[in-house]
Amino acid sequence: MIRARTLSNASLHRAAFLTAAAVAISTLAGCSSGPSTGDAETLSFEGLDYPSEIDVDSDGNVYITDWGNDRVLKLANGDSTQSVVPFDGLTSVNGIAVGNDGNVYVSDGDSKDGRVLQMSADGTSQKVLATVDNPTSLAVADAGVVYVYDFGTPALRKIVPGAKGREYAILGQNNLPDADEYFNDVAIGSDGTPHVVTGMPGPQIYVAKTDRALAELLVLKDQDRFPTAIDINSAGDMVILDHKHGYRILKVANGSTDPVVLSFGELNKPSDVAISDSGDVFVADRNNHRVLKLQAKN
C-alpha cells in the first residue's frame, strides 16, 4: 500500500514523533487501556513503530514491516514471542510478501536506488533481486515470481527468478487510460494472477489476464469507497482496506461481489491487510502501533 505521495521520510518521522508524544501524554492522563479492538485481538508484537505492511504465510505465521525501526518481524502461528527476519541495511522498508517456499521478500528505499530484497527461508542468505525507483507494494506468486509496484515510474514490475532480463514493466498508465495512474496495492489471486487496486476516479480492482491486459472485477464497482490495500487467500476470499469513510476492513467471499464490514474497533490510519488460508484477517494498525487479528468464524 502507498503511504503518501508527497511526504519525505523526514516529514514522516517527524509526524511519527509527534503522534508518539501525543500517545504518551494521553497515557499519563490515565487513558492507558488503548483504543478498542472490536471483535479482534492484539497480537503480541513488541516495540512496533508504525507497522506498515503485513503478510501471512500458508502456515499462519505473520510477518510485519516495522517501518519506524527499519526491520521485519515474524510471529509464528500460536507463539507469543516475535523474531527478527535478519535483513541487513534496510533504510525505508515498505512492502512485504512471503513465498510458498518460505522465502521473504521486501521492498526498501524511497528513491531511484530502491531495492527488492529476498531473504532465504532459513534466514542465512539475502539477495538483491532488482533496483526500482521507489518500490512500494509487492506480492509473490508460485515459483518465486515477484510483482512490485514501481511508484517512481509508475508501473507494476515483474521479476522472474533465473530469467535473462528477468525484471521488466508489465502494467502502467497506458493500460488504464481512464483511471488513476497510481496503483494502491498488488495481491496474488487464488489462480496465481496478480490483482491491482486503485481508488480514482472510483474504486477499481483489476486482474492481470496477461502481462499487458487488465480486466476489471465487479467487486466495489460504483460503490462510494476508496480501497488502499487488498489481499486474497488460497480459497479466493478477499479482504480490502477502505479509507473512504473512516477506516473499514471489508471481506468479500470468493464468488461474491458484496463486501461485509468486519469489526476491528478504533483503527488509526491502518496501512495494510492480510488474510490467511484459514480465513483469519490481520490489520497493520499503523498509528496505533499494533497488529490486530480477527479469527475466522466457523
Q: Is 126 helix (H, G, I), strand (E, B) or coil?
A: strand
What confidence score (pLDDT) does residue 120 get? Answer: 97
DSSP one-letter string for 97-136: EE-TTS-EEEEE-SSTTEEEEEE-TTS--EEEEEEESSEE
What confidence score (pLDDT) does residue 161 get? Answer: 85
Q: Across-strand partners of 65?
A: 72
Residue 15, phi then psi, degrees to nearest 5: -60, -35
Could you list the mean pLDDT of each consecutive 10-residue stretch along the chain, which spans 298 residues?
A: 40 43 38 77 98 97 98 97 97 95 95 92 95 92 91 85 65 56 88 88 83 83 92 97 94 95 96 98 98 91
Instruction: Round to whole Å and give the CA distance between 145 and 88.
Output: 22
What confidence score (pLDDT) does residue 172 get? Answer: 59
Q: Is the CATH number 3.40.630.30 carried by domain 9-30+42-294?
A: no
Q: Is 20 helix (H, G, I), strand (E, B) or coil?
A: helix
What confidence score (pLDDT) does residue 239 get? Answer: 98
What confidence score (pLDDT) does residue 33 get? Answer: 61
What confidence score (pLDDT) does residue 216 get? Answer: 86
Domain range summary for the chain, segments of one domain joined by +: 9-30+42-294
What confidence score (pLDDT) does residue 13 get? Answer: 43
What confidence score (pLDDT) does residue 261 get? Answer: 96
CA 16 to chain centroid, in Å, comes to 19
What confidence score (pLDDT) does residue 137 get? Answer: 94
What confidence score (pLDDT) does residue 208 get? Answer: 84
The kind and range of the H/E element at 19 are helix 9-28
Q: Across-strand partners of 63?
A: 55, 74
Instruction: Round to whole Å and give the CA distance between 129 and 236.
Output: 28
Is residue 39 a contact partner of residue 296, using CB atoms and an 8 Å limit? no
What confidence score (pLDDT) does residue 165 get? Answer: 54
